[in-house]
Amino acid sequence: MMVIMNANATKTEIDNVVQKVEEYELNPHVIIGSERVVIAASGDPREVDYRIFNVLPGVEQVITISPPYKLASREFHPNDSEISIPGLVKDPGDILIIAGPCSVESRTQLLETAQAVKEAGAHMLRGGAFKPRTSPYSFQGLGDEGLKILAEAREITGLPIITEAMAIKDIEVISEYGAVIQIGARNMQNYSLLRSAGKCQMPVLLKRGMMATIDELLLSAEYILAHGNPEVMICERGIRTFEQSTRYTADINALPVLKSKTHLPVLFDPSHSTGHWEYVLPVALAGIAAGADGLIVEVHPHPEKALSDGQQSLKPERFYDLVSQVNKMAQMMREEPVFAGSGV
């Protein structure tokens, strides 16, 4: 952090800033320039509230240099982190492909989808048992029964499962099924949920809030890491913009930005990003080209009958096509790498 004093700052004001820096157990370095004084503070700035310095008398500007998320930052962990997902079968360097319905609706629907995505080449099965729905009158998920169906699909296909926890109690129930926990966009800043995910023993997929900045996303990942769970993957899933032609706007920029800021695996969700099945393939390819380590894609055998997100769900045959095109794009990216390989 650099505290730039204004040109008229008095010695008392400068001493006051130095004292405040020391209170935070940082080392102050006073640089006396021809016009103004700058106080550089070195040390671990994690617990510093920078805004305090902005309001001290005589301070013109505060510049922060290190990101406030230490554990998530690539600065302090230059190599990609490895996440181990129990039961995952995937060649190292391959794009991680997670697929399945938005919601678990019935045993037949889930088992049919699970078999189809496995045959197409998915590595993991997704499906919500606890659903965050905008309307209280929409299908809210099958709850515990949905988890049992997911577990059965895992037994049959061997695909590890990922499912969303909306509340702390969901984490406890999901843990009985040995799945990866998904924290959805609407809960990205539910700090008690993040703390509990930090204390659980399962990998976590943290999705970006639709109105969250990249730094806010990384600070939410930091919550999970700081509470003891190193197995965190993050996911770009589209943000709210003025554009109405698609459900959200895929923030493709966020992918290379995240890859440079963090060592955590970065996944991309082209289904929620676009909200329309016909845009899912091209946008998925863009995500891979932009450096995503993996995709999470919604697939439904009968999208017209889906109880949630049917309009953005791919039919199995279209998903089959997506996997083959994504793998070709991934191969190209391996030949001309932009970032180091996947950590999943």
The footprint of Mn ion on this chain (CB under 5 A) covers a number of residues equal to 2
Using the minimum distance from each CB to Mn ion, give the nearer residue, 230 or 310: 310
Amino acid at 29: H
Tokens standing for residue 281: 């393939």
Contact with ligand PEP (CB under 6 A) among 272, 299, 316, 330? 272
Binding mask 162-201 for ligand PEP (x = CB under 6 A): ----------------------xxx---------------
Q: Where are the alpha helices (DSSP H) in 162-290?
A: 168-175, 191-199, 214-226, 254-261, 270-274, 277-289
Distance CA 296, CA 100 (A): 8
Report which residue's Cβ sits closest to ligand PEP.
184
Under the binding rule (CB under 6 A), the answer on residue 147 touching ligand PEP is: no
State the nearest-atom distance from the C-beta of 300 to ligand PEP, in Å.
12
Strands (E), 52-186: 59-63, 96-100, 124-126, 161-164, 180-183
Under the binding rule (CB under 5 A), the answer on residue 330 touching Mn ion is: no
Distance CA 155, CA 87 (A): 11
Residues 236-255 interacting with ligand PEP (rule: CB under 6 A):
237
State the nearest-atom distance from the C-beta of 171 to Mn ion, in Å.
20
Under the binding rule (CB under 6 A), the answer on residue 102 touching ligand PEP is: yes
> What are the phi and psi torsion angles at 155 (to 5°)?
-60, -40
Binding mask 44-83 for ligand PEP (x = CB under 6 A): ----------------------------------------
Tokens standing for residue 221: 């990942």
Q: How many Cα atoms are found within 13 Å in the side-chain-facing hemisphere of 251?
A: 22
Tokens standing for residue 72: 């998530």
184 contact choice in ligand PEP, Mn ion, none (CB below 5 to 8 Å, kind-dependent): ligand PEP
**Residue 47 neighbours by CB distance under 10 Å:** 9
Q: What is the DSSP letter of 6?
A: P
Under the binding rule (CB under 6 A), the answer on residue 207 touching ligand PEP is: yes
Stretch that binds Mn ion, among 29-37, 100-108, 168-176, 219-227 (CB under 5 A): 100-108
Using the minimum distance from each CB to Mn ion, give the nearer residue, 231 or 309: 309
CB 50 within 8 A of CB 1: yes
Residues 296-315 interacting with Mn ion (rule: CB under 5 A):
309
Q: Which helix (H) or strand (E) holds 7?
A: none
Question: Which residues contact Mn ion (rule: CB under 5 A)?
Answer: 102, 309
The site for ligand PEP (CB under 6 A) is made up of 102, 128, 132, 184-186, 207, 237, 269, 272
